[in-house]
Amino acid sequence: MSGVYPYCVVAAGCYPPPGLTGLGGRPVEGRDVEPFTIWTSAEVSPPTLDLEGIRQHHEVVRAASESVTPLPVRFGDWARDHSVLADRIRRRRGELEAALTAVSGCVELGVTLEHASAEPEAGVSGETPAGGRAYLRELSHAYAERRRRRAERDALLERLRSALTELTTDERVRYLQPPGLVSVAHLVPRDREARYRDSVAAFASEHDQAARVLVTGPWPPYSFAGS
């Protein structure tokens, strides 16, 4: 069977546990590409994007997380054979070494902030305004309301950062459509996870009138693995 499917990049010498399977129930193997070991399985063609395939991919990366911090490979990143995969890894050696160093000993935790109220974001009504001035007033009000909400969002994000400043080593921010505000992925050293959760809980209690707060994870550091 030709074709190889990579799941994650780990430090050299860290191999999959016996019996671990990946896509389609095929065995996962560790292939050395100095200075890394790549966890792979045989796959004749790029996998179809579906929930089962994503789950199987994640289970392999999660298994790696039990013994080391892996650098997850993006789902679907297939190669036609091991030599092609090895060449690809060697070309990115410096980038991958830096990324592995950055995530070492860490997990990914996430915080999502949503509006505490279910009010929709202000917009211009679909009704025909009584006149040009009325339309401009309505448009100005909608823009002002959006600016106000964005300012509130940015202020909440800065307060969250202040609450977690000593507990995280990196972050990735994604702004959301209403009623969401922002989703933040944090890189957190494993030994700080409990303190991180306590700090987010305190933040949520303090700002419960402004936002709903949801914590997710721990995950392998998907958001910090690059492309």
Q: Which residues lie below 8 Å from residue 149, measured CB to CB, with a gap of 6+? A: 121, 122, 178
- Is the distance from CB of 15 to CB of 30 less than 8 angstroms? yes
pLDDT for the residue numbered 227: 56
Co-location of 117 and 53 in the same domain = no
Sheet containing 106-115: which strands, arranged edge to edge? 170-175, 180-189, 106-115, 211-219
Which amino acid is it at 152?
E
Domain end position, chosen among 51, 74, 103? 103
Co-location of 38 and 75 in the same domain = yes
pLDDT for the residue numbered 137: 75
Domain end position, chosen among 61, 78, 103? 103
pLDDT for the residue numbered 190: 95
- Is the distance from CB of 186 to CB of 118 less than 8 angstroms? no
Domain end position, chosen among 48, 74, 103? 103
Co-location of 117 and 94 in the same domain = no
Co-location of 186 and 199 in the same domain = yes
pLDDT for the residue numbered 121: 52
Tell me how far apart the alpha carbons of residues 216 and 121 are, in angstroms, rounded to a whole number.
25
- Is the distance from CB of 211 to CB of 150 less than 8 angstroms? no
pLDDT for the residue numbered 179: 81
The CA-based dihedral angle spanning residues 72, 76, 79, 82, taken in that order and rounded to the nearest 10 degrees: 40
Co-location of 84 and 189 in the same domain = no
Q: Which domain holds residue 151?
A: 106-224
Co-location of 113 and 214 in the same domain = yes
Q: Could you read off the pLDDT of 144-198 as tens digits, one per residue?
A: 767 767 778 888 999 999 999 999 999 999 999 888 889 999 999 999 999 999 9
Co-location of 77 and 128 in the same domain = no
The sign one gets for the Cα dihedral 71, 77, 82, 88 is negative
Residues of the chain scoring pLDDT < 70: 1, 117-131, 141-142, 145, 148, 227
Co-location of 211 and 167 in the same domain = yes
- Is the distance from CB of 53 to CB of 75 less than 8 angstroms? yes
pLDDT for the residue numbered 129: 56
Co-location of 128 and 58 in the same domain = no
Number of domains in the chain: 2
Co-location of 76 and 118 in the same domain = no
Tell me how far apart the alpha carbons of residues 98 and 170 are, in angstroms, rounded to a whole number.
14
Co-location of 142 and 211 in the same domain = yes
Co-location of 118 and 151 in the same domain = yes
Q: What is the CATH number of the domain that holds 147?
A: 3.30.70.260
Fill in the DSSP letter of residue 139.
H
